[in-house]
Amino acid sequence: MMRILVVEDDEMIGDGVVHFLELEGYAVDWVTDGNSALLALKTTPFNLVVLDLGLPGKDGIQVLKEMRAEHISTPVLVTTARDTVDDRIKGLDSGADDYLIKPYDLDELVARVRALGRRSAGRSDPVIERGALRIAPATREVTYNGESVLLSSKEYALLVALAEREGVVWSRSQLEDRLYNWDASVSSNAIEVHIHHLRKKLSESAIKTVRGVGYVLET
């Protein structure tokens, strides 16, 4: 299922967009400011971002520039009331993949989302391979010893964090920052629960606890 991040500070517009996209079968997360958008993108894999430019604080152009500077290649559909040619050029030059002027028809929004989805399907983020573990970020497919593994979004994000930095021990607080910076609350044993589930789904020895320090992937 395609997962979309909607970044829109107008509650009426955001609610309508989220509802319509969900009716079309997409999984949708919604944030209302630029900082939350960047934190979400760093902790959760998305297939597409629908980004309003007129955000409070850090605006959409800043979000775009920081995304691309962080090598976050997720396709971005910009939505904005700014309709001059210069505005469009600025958005596209900052890293947007498409541009939609407000007010827009929701059917057109969905059509553009589908088009970007087809276009980005040809892009392939490097596959992460660590021993028996294989992670394909483009499709979020995880296999272990050749067997497909179904993970929750948080389990996936945690596993990717451990796999990206081979041999590095992550502390619980570092993993919490990676997974939960943009969430409202975190239970005290959330990381331990996710680690427990990952061990059950991979193997008990796949993730090593370094006592007093944190966790490291061992595959």
Distance CA 31, CA 29 (A): 7
Q: What is the pLDDT of residue 124?
A: 54
What is the predicted pLDDT for the residue at 62?
A: 92
Q: Under DSSP, is residue 180 helix (H, G, I), strand (E, B) or coil?
A: helix
Instruction: Calculate mean pLDDT across residues 148-163.
Output: 88
**The amino acid at 126:** P
Angle at 37 between CA 16 and CA 100, to 5 degrees: 50
Residue-range domain boundaries for the chain: 3-120, 128-217
Higher local confidence (pLDDT), 194 or 86: 194
pLDDT in tens, 58-84: 899 999 999 888 888 889 999 988 877
Percentage with pLDDT > 90 across the chain = 51
- What's the pTM? 0.58
CATH architecture, domain 128-217: Orthogonal Bundle (1.10)
CA 203 to chain centre: 26
pLDDT at 101 over 80: yes
**Domain 3-120: what homologous superfamily?**
Response regulator (3.40.50.2300)
Query: How does DSSP assign 127-159, residue by residue?
Result: PEEETTEEEETTTTEEEETTEEE---HHHHHHH
Residue 130 has pLDDT above 60, yes or no: yes
In this predicted structure, the answer to whether residue 31 has a pLDDT above a threshold of 80 is yes
pLDDT at 187 (0 to 100): 75
Predicted local confidence at residue 180, as pLDDT: 66
Beta-strand pair 207-210/214-217: antiparallel
* 135, two tokens: 């992670």
Long-range contacts of 81-89 (CB under 8 A, 24+ apart): 81/54, 82/53, 82/54
